[in-house]
Amino acid sequence: MSNQLSNSNQKRPILAKEGWPFIALAVVVALVTGAISFWLGLVFWLVAIFVIQFFRDPTRQAPQGEALVLSPADGRIVAVEEVDDPYAGRRALKISVFMNVFNVHSNQMPVSGRITKVEYFKGKFVNADLDKASIENERNAIVIERADGQIVTSVQVAGLVARRILCYAKVGQELGAAQRYGFIRFGSRVDVYLPLNAKPLVAIGDKVSHTLTVLAELE
């Protein structure tokens, strides 16, 4: 396993490292404005609290099972459908998780396997809740080959407000299910493409939690 990415079983800071500069700036601004005006300071303390909650990054224990596909993100299921997987060149079952600004935005590996492709695409920033966001928005895809040869694709998709996709996975890395591999700032979506014989265990509208929720089971 790569030592560059955190494992779900390892304790990590409560707040994501990606948010430290934003949290520090928000707190400093709140302190300065609070010294000038109580009410203005109160507004910026509320902003600072929002920033802090956005960048929370809890450690979670993943359920065990080689056939389980774990949710790579917190949020709500917005798609469970058969589509073309343009990143692996196949028909696939796509399960999409929409993250609003109140969800944890740390992204985890849905399955264990070797990273065979990492591909970034420039694009638009339409509402990530819309189906067209999967193919039109800025996004970053990783293709994962499991030990049994099955392919799983995980795609980080930017949203209306999200303007920064961070992916730490590299081609050739062997990563475990639930390992932290990326982060998306301020509202977004993750699409997971699975073999057609995968059995979905979630439905549209379901709320899911990264690492804890099982999206599907592979044969």
C-beta separation of 118 from 144 below 8 A: no
Residue owning tokens 């990273």: 115
Whether 188 sits among the annotated catalytic residues: the reply is yes
User: What's the CA angle centered on 185, arms 99 and 46, to 5 degrees?
Assistant: 90
Q: Where are the alpha helices (DSSP H) in the chain?
A: 20-36, 38-54, 133-136
| Torsion angle (degrees, nearest 10) of CA 84, 86, 88, 92 | -20
From CA 187, how far away is CA 103, in angstroms rounded? 8
- Calculate helix-pair angle for 38-54, 20-36, nearest 10 degrees: 170
Side chain identity at 139, as an amino acid letter? Answer: R
Side-chain half-sphere exposure of 201, counting CA atoms within 13 A: 13
Catalytic option among 134, 154, 188, 209: 188
DSSP class of 56: B
From CA 32, how far away is CA 78, in angstroms rounded? 41
Nearest C-alpha neighbor of 129 from the set 78, 175, 178? 78
CB-based contacts of 148, cutoff 8 Å, min separation 6: none
Enzyme catalytic residues: 188
